[in-house]
Chains A and B, each alone.
Chain A
Amino acid sequence: MSYLEYQVKFVPSGLKKLLYLNWPLVLLVTAVSCMGFVMLASISGGRMDLWAGPQIERFGLGFVLMIAVAVTPIWFWRSSAAVAYLVSIGLLVLVEVMGTVGMGAQRWIDIGPLRLQPSEVAKVTLVMALAAYYDWLPARRVSNPIWLAPPLLLIVAPVVLVLAQPNLGTAVLILGTGGAVMWCAGVHWAYFAAVFGSIGGAVFAVFESRGTPWQLLHDYQYRRIDTFLDPSQDPLGAGYNITQAKIALGSGGWTGKGFMQGTQSRLNFLPEKHTDFIFNTLAEEFGFLGSITLLALYGLILLFLFTAAMQCRDRFSSLLVTGIGVSFFLLFAVNMLMVMGLAPVVGVPLPLVSYGGSQLLVLLIAFGLVQSAHVHRPR
Chain B
Amino acid sequence: MRNARNEGSEVWPRMTRRAALLGTAQLGLMGVLGWRMKQLQVDQADEFALLAEENRVNMRLIPPGRGLIFDRNGVALATNEPVYRIVIVREAAGEPREALARLAAVMPLDAGTIEATLAEMERVASFVPVTVRDRVSWDDVARVTANAPALPGVTAEVGLSRSYPRGPDTAHVVGYVGPVSDYDLGLMEDPDPLFQIPKFQFGKTGVEAKLEDLLRGKAGTQRIEVNSVGRVMRELSRDEGTPGADVQLSLDAELQSYVEARLAGESAACVVMDCESGDLLAVGNAPTFDPNLFVRGISVPDWTALNENIYRPLAAKAVQGAYPPGSTFKIVTALAALEAGVISPEDTVWCGGYTEVSGIRFHCWKRGGHGNVDFNDSLKYSCDCYYYEVGQRVGIEAIAAMARRMGVGVRPDVPMSAVAEGIAPDADWKRAHHDEAWRVGDTVNASIGQGYVLATPLQLAVMTARVATGREVAPRLVRAIDGVEQPSGAGGPLGLNENLLRRVRASMFDVVNHARGTAHKARIAAAGFEMAGKTGTSQVRRITAEERARGVTSNADLPWNRRDHALWVDFAPYDNPRFAVSVVVEHGSGGSTTAAPIGRDVTLQALYGGFPPLDAYPSDKREEAGQMQARVRALLQGRPAPTLGRA
Contact = CB atoms under 8 A, between A and B. Distances in A.
A139 B10 contact: yes
Contacts of A246: 40, 48
B82 to A, nearest CB: 32
B42 A253 contact: yes
A267 B41 contact: no
B52 A263 contact: yes
B41 A250 contact: yes
B55 to A, nearest CB: 5
B29 to A, nearest CB: 5
A142 interface: yes
Nearest to B125: A236
A292 B37 CA distance: 7
A139 B8 contact: yes
B437 interface: no
Given A244-B228, A250-B45, A306-B23, A295 B40 contact: no
B104 interface: no
Contacts of A264: 52, 55-56
Contacts of A7: 5
Contacts of A291: 37, 41
Contact of A333 (B30, B227, B229): B30
Contacts of B11: 139, 142, 185-186, 315
A227 interface: no
Contacts of B37: 249, 283, 288, 291-292, 295, 340
Interface in B213-243: 225-229, 233
A171 to B, nearest CB: 19
B55 A267 contact: yes
Contacts of B38: 288, 292
Interface in B4-34: 4-5, 7-8, 10-11, 14-16, 18-19, 22-23, 26-27, 29-30, 32-34
B228 A267 contact: yes
Contacts of A268: 227-229
Given A247-B51, A310-B19, A314-B5, A337 B45 contact: no
Contacts of B19: 184, 306, 309-310, 322
A73 B26 CA distance: 29
Contacts of B225: 263, 267
A211 interface: no
A308 to B, nearest CB: 11
The residue among B15, B34, B46 with the most chain A CB atoms within 10 A of its own CB is B15
A269 interface: yes
Contacts of A249: 37, 40-41, 48
A306 B42 CA distance: 31
Nearest to A243: B51
A299 B47 CA distance: 29
A135 interface: yes
A186 B18 contact: yes
A237 interface: no
B40 A263 contact: no
Interface in A280-297: 283-284, 287-288, 291-292, 295
A246 B39 CA distance: 11
- Chain A interface size, under 10 / 10 to 19 / 20 to 34 / 35 or more: 35 or more
Given A288-B42, A302-B26, A295 B1 contact: no
A7 B1 CA distance: 12
B32 to A, nearest CB: 7
Contacts of A244: 55, 228
B15 A267 contact: no
A263 B8 contact: no
Interface string B35-76: 011101110111111011101100000000000000000000
Contacts of A88: none
A294 to B, nearest CB: 9
A348 B42 CA distance: 25
A310 B52 CA distance: 46
Contacts of A329: 26, 29
A249 B37 CA distance: 8
Contacts of A186: 11, 14-15, 18
A106 interface: no
A180 B233 CA distance: 48
Contacts of A180: 22
A183 B22 contact: yes
A243 to B, nearest CB: 9
B6 to A, nearest CB: 9
Contacts of A267: 55-56, 225-228, 233
A288 B35 CA distance: 11
Contacts of A253: 41-42, 45-46, 49
A318 interface: yes
Nearest to A236: B125
A315 B55 contact: no
A184 B15 contact: yes
A49 interface: no
The residue among B41, B42, B51, B227 with the most chain A CB atoms within 10 A of its own CB is B41
Given A248-B52, A251-B48, A314-B5, A288 B32 contact: no
A288 B4 CA distance: 49
B30 to A, nearest CB: 6
Contacts of B14: 186
B15 to A, nearest CB: 6
A264 B37 CA distance: 17
Contacts of A254: 41-42, 45
Contact of A251 (B26, B29, B49): B49
Interface string A322-363: 100010010001001100101000000000000000000000
A140 interface: yes
Contact of B8 (A1, A269, A306, A315): A315
Nearest to B34: A295
B32 A342 contact: yes
A231 interface: no
A136 B5 CA distance: 9
A288 to B, nearest CB: 4
Nearest to B42: A288
A113 interface: no
Contacts of B15: 184-186, 315, 318
A138 interface: yes
A329 B27 CA distance: 10
Contacts of B46: 253
Interface string A55-91: 0000000000000000000000000000000000000
Contacts of B5: 5, 7, 314
B30 A299 contact: yes
Interface string A253-265: 1100000000110
A252 interface: yes
A250 B23 contact: no
A298 B31 CA distance: 12
Given A269-B227, A342-B32, A263 B55 contact: yes
A252 B29 contact: no
A184 B7 contact: no
A39 to B, nearest CB: 16
Nearest 6 CB-CB pairings of A with B: A250-B48, A251-B52, A288-B41, A267-B227, A253-B45, A139-B11
Interface of A: 1, 5, 7, 135-136, 138-140, 142, 180, 183-186, 244, 246-254, 263-264, 267-269, 283-284, 287-288, 291-292, 295, 298-299, 302, 306, 309-310, 314-315, 318, 322, 326, 329, 333, 336-337, 340, 342
11 contacts: A7-B5, A184-B22, A253-B46, A264-B56, A267-B226, A269-B52, A292-B38, A314-B8, A322-B22, A333-B26, A340-B37
Interface of B: 1, 3-5, 7-8, 10-11, 14-16, 18-19, 22-23, 26-27, 29-30, 32-34, 36-38, 40-42, 44-49, 51-53, 55-56, 225-229, 233
Given A184-B22, A249-B48, A310-B19, 17 more contacts: A135-B8, A247-B51, A248-B52, A250-B40, A250-B51, A251-B48, A251-B52, A267-B228, A268-B227, A269-B55, A269-B228, A295-B33, A302-B23, A306-B19, A315-B11, A336-B33, A336-B36
